[in-house]
Amino acid sequence: MIRSLNDFSRIAREKGPKKLAVLAPEDEEFMRALKRSWQMGYVEPVLIGNAERMGQVADKVEFDISRFEKIIGEDRQAIADLGINLLFTGKLAIASKGQIPTSYIYRSIIREEGKARSGMTVSVISFWEIPGLDQLVAFTDTGVNISPDFKTKAEILKNAVFVYRLLGYPKPKIAILSGQREIGGTLISYRDYELLREAAASGEFGDCEILDATSFTEIFLGGRGRLTDHGSVHMERMPHILLFPCLDAGNIICKLDFFLDVTRCSLVATSRGPVCIPARSDFNDNIVQQLAMCVVVADRMKGEVK
Amino acid sequence: MLKSFREIAEAAKKVSAKKLVVSSVKKTDVELLSEAAGAGFIIPLMIGDGKGIESMIDGTPLAGLGHEIVDEKDSERALSKAMRFVREGRADILMQGAVTHQTFMDAVLDAKSGLRKGKVVSYNSVFQLMKQGKLILVTDTFINNNPTIAEKQLILENAFRLADILGIDVPKVAVLAAIEQINLHIPSTLDAAILSKMSERKQFGRVVVEGPLDIDCALSQVAAARKGLRSVVSGNVDIYLVPEIDTGHLLAESLVFFGRIETAGAVMGMANPVIVNLPFVSDASRVVEIALAVLLCGKGGNNG
């Protein structure tokens, strides 16, 4: 069972190196992360992008990239298409975003999923490691679906359940979140919660537990509880997966790691393997961690193609 | 500028005690009122089962402090009476007692008999950031489900009034969205861009409104710089405007439960201060909510 980000690092050292398609590694912070990931034995990169720019940033971070396979390309969408195709055709185990707009990569993934007839909805899963908590918490969708309807949320949830099971949890606990309060009528997000509970009860998501709670207050304090002080918070009630009502909520809250004492690590779940999509503001420590996670997920996806 | 909940309490002590009315009083309310009255913030006026209230007060510090009890056993009539007292000037502040949020908010927002003053009533979660030594506002975290751009403008203006009371000179606002770029498919980014432009044209006065901002660019100057964004707001936000209630309510809860950050709330857009009893506000911070309501009265009793 994977309980911490450190577990990913440890297992990535055992299971690596995995072949990694790197899409336009033309930024120092990213190249530094790539260098460290290679040194730690996580990945063997195939570099796709502008030769001169890749060479310049590699020189700046003193990383000899002459030993790696390179595919020269300029057009950003073509680079994304090529890298994702290498993943979907099984030639490489992982793909990672460098200096390419994330939307280009999502477009490439959607095309490949279409060709593969997987029926898979593209979504982003962000894990939080919270000090004192003996598990990782998966936030989803934090990157793709702007305002998902019930059906899309069901697909997003399936992706998260699939990935969380890869971590060794056969029956993950799930909270379907909503801003529902006693006032203001019934929110769409709450109706979706009710529908998703019904879908779960009919076995749509396999073995899992949907919590009877849609807010953090209900999760940590119980239905009618109130915060007397922070000692009254039951953090042990933390679910494994948090399904967010919309992209704004998921993205804003998952990136509170810039403020809170938590560590975030994200990936895109595709039917053929993980795609690493570091944010442009992520630092190299964080990117290395994300690559380690992708190595482990790729390893555990072998033979478990969705 | 007030930088902590302690400073809010100290400022409230300098203002003369206000009369706070609450209907359907419960035991925990008595404990809270006892503390707030003891600090000199308020003189409680409690409406409900007179004998029941007296027995709850008996043996508490409130027994020896100024207070008033009005006997009215019917909870609906008790709430109506409480609002009438505020409207008639017999009380300054209305606090939610043991009635549901729906009953309470329906009553205070009622166009005829309620207490609303502004076109939009909104809820501000005030957070105390100990490390940074400042207070921040997050709005709207409780009342408006899916505000339009016009309503967001008024929610912002409500927040500016509260920021003024807290002594924030030139409030810096992050209008939050999932990304910091304008995406025509993400409505929150469009609203944010318009509000930002309105601020640039000085339509809000002496404030800086920046948007769209994702949370990393709002929280960190370094993160913003890595995305090529330079703004005085990044890393120094006073007010976070959220896109809608799913995000707002869950964000406020996240800061409380994951960040263990104390929060107190203020309803803005009312003719008089109104205190809502939210479950994620700690007992200690509920006293701060009363102190904040006192400061809102101190501004001429007009917080709308």
Decide: A197 and A211 in contact? Cβ < 8 Å: no
Cβ separation A244–B101 shorter than 8 A: no
Residue B299 has pLDDT above 80, yes or no: no
Give the residue carrying structure tokens 């290679």: A38
Cβ separation A246–B217 shorter than 8 A: no
Three-state secondary-structure class, residue A206 = coil
Sequence-distant (≥ 6) Cβ neighbours of residue A260 within 8 angstroms: B258, B259
Cβ separation A251–B283 shorter than 8 A: no
pLDDT at A37: 97
Give contacts of B249 with chain A, Cβ < 8 Å: 179, 181, 215
Nearest-angstrom CA–CA distance, A159 and A270:
8
Give contacts of A255 with chain B, Cβ < 8 Å: 214-216
Give contacts of A246 with chain B, Cβ < 8 Å: 244, 246-247
Residue B300 has pLDDT above 50, yes or no: no
Cβ separation A179–B246 shorter than 8 A: yes
pLDDT (tens digit, 9 = 90+) per residue, B120-173? 999 999 999 998 999 999 999 999 999 999 999 999 999 999 999 999 999 999
> Would you state the structure tokens that stand for residue A50, as one six-digit string?
């502008």
Single-letter amino acid, residue A90: G
Cβ separation B246–A183 shorter than 8 A: no
Give how far B89 is from chain A: nearest CA, Å: 27
Sequence-distant (≥ 6) Cβ neighbours of residue B8 within 8 angstroms: B2, B135, B166, B264, B288, B291, B292, B295
Q: How far is CA A180 from CA A213, A224, B142, in A?
A: 10, 14, 9
Three-state secondary-structure class, residue A188 = helix
Q: Sorting pLDDT into bands at 50, 70 and 90, what band is A224?
A: confident
pLDDT (tens digit, 9 = 90+) per residue, A42-98? 999 999 999 999 999 999 999 999 999 999 999 999 999 999 999 999 999 999 999
Q: Please state the φ and ψ torsions of residue A55, each to the nearest 5 degrees.
A: -65, -40
Instruction: Please give the full DSSP string across A211-250, using - where no structure is assigned.
Output: -S-SSHHHHHH-TT---SSGGG--GGG--SEEE-SSHHHH
Q: Please state the φ and ψ torsions of residue A155, each to the nearest 5 degrees.
A: -70, -40
Cβ separation A228–B282 shorter than 8 A: yes
pLDDT at B214: 96
Cβ separation B280–A227 shorter than 8 A: yes
Three-state secondary-structure class, residue A71 = strand
pLDDT (tens digit, 9 = 90+) per residue, A148-186? 999 999 999 999 999 999 999 999 999 999 999 999 999
Buried b / exposed e over B116-128, threshold 16 CB at 10 Å, is bebebbbbbbbbb
Give how far A15 is from chain B: nearest CA, Å: 32
pTM score: 0.95
Sequence-distant (≥ 6) Cβ neighbours of residue A189 within 8 angstroms: A177, A178, A179, A180, A214, A245, A246, B246
CA angle B143–B144–B150, rounded 5-degree value: 140
Cβ separation A279–B100 shorter than 8 A: no
Radius of gyration of chain B (CA): 20
All structural domains of chain B: 5-119+269-298 (3.40.718.10), 122-257 (3.40.718.10)
For a pLDDT cut of 90, what percent of chain A falls above it?
89
Q: Sorting pLDDT into bands at 50, 70 and 90, what band is A223?
A: confident
Between A and B, how many residue pairs show a Cβ–Cβ distance under 8 A?
146
Nearest-angstrom CA–CA distance, A5 and A179:
29
> Roughly how many angstroms between the first and final C-alpha of chain B, as a whole number?
21
Task: Specify whether the backbone of A25 is left (phi greater than 0), alpha (psi in -120 to 50) or beta.
Answer: beta
Question: How high is the ipTM of this complex?
Answer: 0.95
Give the nearest partner residue to B250 out of A253, A280, A281, using CB atoms.
A253
Decide: A110 and A122 in contact? Cβ < 8 Å: yes
Q: Where are the alpha helices (DSSP H) in A16-75?
A: 28-39, 51-60
pLDDT (tens digit, 9 = 90+) per residue, A181-197? 999 999 999 999 999 99
pLDDT at B301: 38
Burial of B205 (0-12, 13-18, 19+ CB in 10 A): exposed
Give the nearest partner residue to B250 out of A215, A247, A280, using CB atoms.
A215
pLDDT at A232: 79
A30 → chain B, closest CA residue = B226
All structural domains of chain A: 1-119+272-306 (3.40.50.10950), 121-269 (3.40.718.10)
Give the residue carrying structure tokens 């490390």: B131
Residue B266 has pLDDT above 60, yes or no: yes
Distance from CA of residue A293 to its chain's centroid? 9
> Would you state the structure tokens that stand for residue A126, as one six-digit string?
């962000």
A99 → chain B, closest CA residue = B227
Give the nearest partner residue to B245 out of A182, A184, A227, using CB atoms.
A184
